[in-house]
A = this chain, B = another copy of it.
Amino acid sequence: MTKNRTGNNQFLKAYNEAGILDLIRTRKALSRADLSKATGLSPTATGAIVSALMDKGYIHEIGTGESKGGRKPVLLELKPNSCYSVGLDVEIDCISYALTDISGRVVHEGTTALDVNTPEAVTSSAAKYINEMVEARSIRREHLLGIGISVPGMVDATTHKVLLAPNLGWEDVDLSSMLKDKLNLPAYIENEAMASAICENWVGACQGVSNFVCVNIRSGIGAGIFTGGKLYRGAGGSAGEVGHIVVDENGPRCGCGNYGCLEAIASTGRIVEKARRLVRQGVVSSLNDIADADSIQFHHVVAAARNGDETAKSLLNETARFLGIALSNLVNTLNPSKIVLGKDFVKYGDLVMDMLRSVIDCKALKRPAANVEISVSGIGEKSSTLGAAFIPLKILFGK
């Protein structure tokens, strides 16, 4: 119990404001009477909150709705371009950006290459890009809610430092403070799979879903987990490291030092390595038509599989089998209602979904397996960039 819980007016006011703002966001075009009915607040209190939100510029009136007797009700909606949020996703060799307005609509997106990916280089590059992006659109500084940053690494739940980002070679980096100091704007940092989960929950397949898991497959494999409607970070911030679930005790060595981790078998980098090895071994396959083994990229493997190449198909299905073992563990442990697979999985998910589903149906317990929906992310590769942009919005909407 805190002072805030005891009926403190300021707290309740902010709470109710955020709640009404969120109702307008999720249900669109509502009248003051609709809002009063939905919240249980009196018409007077509702009117005062609506006025305050209009004064702040977050909402506006968009005309009148159908009358149920009496005056036609005036409908309210989020005011597009009233405020903005920036999301960025730090990758090994580039940074992806998204600028969204209050409704989550993407106003701009872009990517810049990184020659070096030290924290200083990332901060300088990001600050320059954000300043230019904002100036080009004549967006006033006070209309920027803040910056969300997605990183491929563990973020400490308390200090918000990047504890470890193996692919970037970072350890104990306070990137959000660095960017905050450079731009003088609130900055929030999140693990990339958790950012994707925020995205799926805000605008994607998991809106209104309380218990779900987003699994991102790329050079690494990680998950963002929601429990009870909230992002679950774990005690230290490293929850969701499902890439290190051991799926084959006799499997290949993983970057973490262990053997047979999911990531060491089913990451896209490992799939490419295996395809190259098969070509070198002279296994008959259309992959051999590519000049040499070292030139094979992930898109070649997917294209070959789509063209019916059995070697490429088996390769993808085999990784899906191991992915299925890891997901079965998640189904048994977490009993989620949805599992959404994203990033590179979007490129080949349709080819392996039958295999994945059959492994889960076979290996997970019957009831939680029957009740979990497994799907490919409809948002695709930008989910963590967008999810990062939604962090400042979530704060505005009291989420």
Verify B332–A245 contact, CB threshold 8 A: yes
Verify A328–B234 contact, CB threshold 8 A: no
Chain A: residues with Cβ within 8 Å of the partner, total of 66
Per-residue interface assignment for chain A, residues 278 to 313, with 1 indicating a CB less than 8 Å from any chain B CB and 0 otherwise: 000000000000000000000000000000000000
Q: In the assembly, what is the distance between CA of A234 and CA of B228, in Å?
A: 8
Verify A335–B6 contact, CB threshold 8 A: no
- Please pick, from B19, B154, B242, the residue contacting A5 in the complex, using a CB distance under 8 A: B19
Chain A residues numbered 45-99 whose CB sits less than 8 Å from any CB in chain B: 45
Contacts of A20 in B (CB 8 A): 1
- Please pick, from B39, B235, B364, the residue contacting A336 in the complex, using a CB distance under 8 A: B235
Verify B230–A368 contact, CB threshold 8 A: no
Known contacts A41-B6, A367-B163; A335/B236 CB under 8 A: yes
Contacts of A330 in B (CB 8 A): 333
Verify A12–B16 contact, CB threshold 8 A: no
Q: In the assembly, what is the distance between CA of A157 and CA of B169, in Å?
A: 43
Verify B5–A164 contact, CB threshold 8 A: no
Per-residue interface assignment for chain A, residues 1 to 37, with 1 indicating a CB less than 8 Å from any chain B CB and 0 otherwise: 1111111100010011001100100000000000000
Verify B325–A235 contact, CB threshold 8 A: no
Contacts of A232 in B (CB 8 A): 227-228, 334
Q: In the assembly, what is the distance between CA of A365 and CA of B191, in Å?
A: 16
Instruction: Check if A256 is an interface residue, CB within 8 A of chain B.
Output: yes
Interface residues of chain A: helix, strand, loop or mixed (majority) = mixed
Known contacts A246-B328, A367-B164; A241/B12 CB under 8 A: no
Verify A234–B334 contact, CB threshold 8 A: yes
Identify the closest chain B residue to A364 (Cβ).
B244
Contacts of A239 in B (CB 8 A): 211, 333-335
Verify B40–A2 contact, CB threshold 8 A: yes
Contacts of A23 in B (CB 8 A): 1
Verify B39–A6 contact, CB threshold 8 A: yes
Contacts of A6 in B (CB 8 A): 12, 16, 39-41, 45
A230, chain B: closest CB distance, angstroms:
6
Identify the closest chain B residue to A38 (Cβ).
B1
Q: In the assembly, what is the distance between CA of A244 and CA of B330, in Å?
A: 10
Instruction: Check if A343 is an interface residue, CB within 8 A of chain B.
Output: no
Per-residue interface assignment for chain A, residues 318 to 341, with 1 indicating a CB less than 8 Å from any chain B CB and 0 otherwise: 000000010011101111110000
Chain A residues numbered 335-368 whose CB sits less than 8 Å from any CB in chain B: 335-337, 362-368
Verify A244–B335 contact, CB threshold 8 A: no
- Please pick, from B240, B256, B325, the residue contacting A333 in the complex, using a CB distance under 8 A: B240
A46, chain B: closest CB distance, angstroms:
10
Verify A325–B164 contact, CB threshold 8 A: no
Contacts of A38 in B (CB 8 A): 1
Chain A residues numbered 228-266 whose CB sits less than 8 Å from any CB in chain B: 228, 230, 232-242, 244-246, 248-249, 256, 258
Contacts of A366 in B (CB 8 A): 256
Identify the closest chain B residue to A371 (Cβ).
B236
- Please pick, from B8, B40, B236, B363, the residue contacting A368 in the complex, using a CB distance under 8 A: B236
Identify the closest chain B residue to A240 (Cβ).
B333
Instruction: Check if A214 is an interface residue, CB within 8 A of chain B.
Output: no
Instruction: Check if A197 is an interface residue, CB within 8 A of chain B.
Output: no
Q: In the assembly, what is the distance between CA of A2 and CA of B235, in Å?
A: 30
Contacts of A371 in B (CB 8 A): 235-236
Q: Give me 25 A-to-B residue pairs in the complex whose CB atoms sit less than 8 angstroms apart, sorted by A's number.
A: A1-B16, A1-B23, A1-B39, A3-B39, A5-B15, A6-B39, A6-B45, A7-B7, A7-B12, A211-B235, A227-B227, A227-B232, A228-B228, A234-B368, A235-B337, A235-B372, A236-B368, A236-B371, A237-B335, A238-B367, A239-B334, A242-B333, A244-B332, A256-B366, A329-B329
In the A-B complex, list the 7 residue pairs whose CB atoms are closest, starting with the nearest.
A234-B335, A3-B40, A235-B337, A1-B19, A239-B335, A241-B332, A227-B227
